[in-house]
Structure 1
Amino acid sequence: VKITYITAGAGGMYCGSCIRDNALATALSARGHDVTLLPLYTPTRTDEENVSQQRVFFGGISVYLEQNVSLFRKTPWLLDRLWESPWLLRAVMGRGIETSPNQLGALAVSVLEGSHGHQRKELDKLVHWLKDQPRPDVLDISNSLLIAIAGPLKDALGCPINCTLQGENVFIEGLLEPYRSRAKELIKSHLSHVDSFVAVSDYYAAYMTQYLGIPGAKMQVVPLGVNTGRFVPTGSSGGEAPFTLGYLGRIAPEKGLHLLVHAYRNLRERGALEGCRIELAGYLDQEHLPYWQSIEREVETWGLAEEIHYRGELDLDAKTSFLQALDLFVAPVVYDDPKGISLIESMACGVPVVAPRRGSFTELLERTGGGVLLKSGSAEVLEQVLCDLIGDRDRLIALGRSASEGVRDRYSTDHMTTRALDVYERLVR
């Protein structure tokens, strides 16, 4: 199958969707399929070999200039190449690119207006380039915020189109009004141009069917997958001190890091966590720096600075080692996460997970048996579950074994690729 996959860069951070798209493209290519992975906005940042094209369409600088200065909506394409080069986009990424939804409402709506928006020239460039390439059998768009390109590309290429759904409702709900309502309205207006939709979890398939009014017959599920040849148990679990709790994710309030820190402090005050520590890692942007600084101040005040360590953003090797060194992984999110890739990576390493019973986490832990689901997201409930698990080494070992086996059986890259290929082959029959 010849597949053109359009993915969206996320500025300078490792992006779960970018990593998933890149892994899928790599695996499909390894099976002999012809895959072109095209980035929009910025070059993608992945933790494995990046197989995307060097050229970036809808370049973040061009999109910004066209949104704010009408002159740039009419500049010659050749001139635009000056600020569309990957090296310049990477340089800007290094300084930080705004990705917060509360700052990007007008721009998001304009892009969703497609040929009627300020970025029409960028759409024309993409169509022109694709028409000069061999026609794909199927085209995949990596999230519904890009859905405005579906109609023009279908007209130009005449191929079926799939749209993958990977958590964009969180961005949409973060938009200020009237942009939030307008964005949803525009996405719905483009649904008819898409032949199928793929959600990354059963939870998200049901949610987005209702949220956007997607016909149920068009919705399918391709669960996330990880490299089970890389993320493997080390077999070293045996009660060695110190007992290590781990957190891997963006440092942001919705990820619930504060709940973990507060639960840990309460347990330490009870004398229940002697010889323990917390290892933290993940992307921290400027917007959430005050949140992290408030946690740091609390940790210092409590006298726990030597027990709670932040390792920053990790590359693939560092992330693998980080996860393999944990005794228990905690994902204390306070929203309905549709993905849970870090949970899957942790479980693949044989590390059991504690997470709230919400979003995709419910199906991940129920299907693998690789952890404990919290009845509520309070620090008190988390505190009690941690206390029970830390004192039960046999249960932790059993959960870890179920976790790694469950991921191999259900959430491997190979399994994800087979499911995605089934979707594509149905579209081209």
Structure 2
Amino acid sequence: MMLGLARKITERCGPPIVCSLSGEDIFLEKIRPPYYVRTRQLLRERAAEIQAFVALNEYYANFMSEYLSIGREQVHVIPHGLNLEGHGSPHKKSAEGPQRIGYLARICKDKGLHLLLEACEILIQEHGCTNIEVHAAGYLGAGDRGYFQHIQRRVDQGPLAKKFQYHGELDRDNKIAFLQSLDIFSTPTLYPESKGLPLLEAWANAIPAVVPGHGAFTELVADTEGGILFEPHNPGDLAKCLAELLENRDRANHLGKLGQVAILDRYHSKIMARRTKEFYEKISL
């Protein structure tokens, strides 16, 4: 999004220019004609002036190399790394208490909260999983309040009545506590996810995940084995995958532990810092 600055920086200062890539296409794809075509054209022109790009995963590196019409070798991958302080084990839960399915992301249609709620209605009505609660947290902007009010009305009138709670936007400590309170994590984005940070945060607390099989999620689940992929946009398949874990707690706990092991091994801030340092030292030679 800041490609337009690169030419002037190069002219005045002369260092190699590196541009990070982290989901800009979601905004760009909403630009209306006739500005969309011109914007894409300018991005491709200015991308040619950048020495290197950095993405958080192979999926987005491949996607953006085509999107910007640049060589794949120009896009380097440095995976996300979490600050692990405060993360740990999930809260001990009563065997009789409700099982908590959690969503952590911005409250908007693109992130798929409505899809999760529809899947949980199916869980209750078709799978007999009545002892559940759905808990959501994340920023709710003014432009998305109508969306949230609509799904809240649906919840209040359906099988999830009194089983759904929105916790608002959380600070770091409360976010970690929220994640540790869950049994299963799911943020069923409608678009191919470019980052997947909340998923990594769930795994840092040994919470198993059910996420759509597209974008970075496919790559992260394949690498960590910390969750199940469902067919994107399909609430019935999401419900089926959630039921599999709700009905087999040993498997769910195993997946959560696998995710946590992967975070501790290769998705933490120290290794990300080392990889970043090595990359910038190499490109500055």
Which TM class, normalised by the smaller chain length?
A: over 0.9
Distance, in Å, in 1 between the alignment partners of 2:94 and 2:64 is 43
Match of 1:267 among 123, 132, 143: 123
Letter in 1 for 2:185: F
1:247 aligns with 2:103: yes
After superposing the two structures, state which structure 1 stretch, 359-368 or 418-427, moved more.
Answer: 418-427
Partner of 1:329: 185
State the match for 1:156 in structure 2.
Answer: 12
1:169 paired residue among 25, 35, 58: 25
> In 2, distance between residues paired with 1:239 and 1:172?
47
Aligned pair partner of 2:251 in 395, 405, 408: 395
Query: 126, 135, 142: which is aligned to 1:279?
Result: 135
8 A Cα contact 2:99 2:131, kept in partner: yes
How far, CA to CA, are the matches of 2:224 and 2:168 in structure 1? 29
Partner of residue 349 from structure 1, selected from 201, 205, 209: 205
Provide the residue aligned with 1:184 in structure 2: 40
Structure number with greater Rg is 1
Q: Which has the higher contact order (CA 8 A, sep 6+)?
A: 2
Is the contact between residue 190 and residue 232 of structure 2 (CA under 8 Å) also seen in structure 1?
no
Measured after TM superposition, the shift of residue 274 of structure 1 is: 2.7
Q: Does 1:299 align with 2:136?
A: no
Task: Return the alpha-carbon distance in structure 1 between the equivalents of residues 127 and 257 of structure 2.
Answer: 29
- In structure 2, the CA distance between the partners of 1:209 and 1:328, relative to structure 1 (3 Å rule), is same
Pairwise CA distance, 1:303: 5.2
Q: Secondary structure at the match of 2:2?
A: helix
Task: Give me the identity figure in percent.
Answer: 35
**TM-score w.r.t. structure 2 length?**
0.96
Match of 2:172 among 313, 316, 327: 316
Question: What root-mean-square deviation, in Å, do the aligned CA atoms of Structure 1 and Structure 2 show?
Answer: 1.5
1:127 equivalent in structure 2: none
Aligned to 2:239: 383
The equivalent residue for 2:61 is: 205
Offset of 1:423 from its aligned partner?
1.4
Matched, 1:424 2:280: yes
**Residues 324 and 418 (structure 1 numbering): CA distance in 2 closer, same or farther, change over 3 Å?**
same
Contact conserved, 2:116 with 2:188, CA < 8 A, in 1? Answer: yes
Contact 2:108 2:144 (C-alpha < 8 Å) held by counterparts: yes
1:245–1:327 CA contact under 8 A, matched in 2: yes
4+ aligned runs moved over 6 Å, structure 1: none
Structure-2 separation of matches of 1:288 and 1:376: 22
Which residue type is aligned with residue 279 of structure 2?
A: V
- The AA in structure 1 aligned to 2:152 is E
Instruction: Give deviations 1:60-79, integer Å, cap 9, x for gaps.
Output: xxxxxxxxxxxxxxxxxxxx
Per the alignment, residue 261 of structure 2 pairs with 405
CA contact (8 A) 1:239 1:393 kept: no
State how many pairs are aligned.
285
For structure 2, which runs of at least 5 residues remain unmatched after alignment? none
Q: Which residue of the partner structure matches residue 34 of structure 1? A: none
TM-superposed CA distance for 1:234, in Å, is 3.8
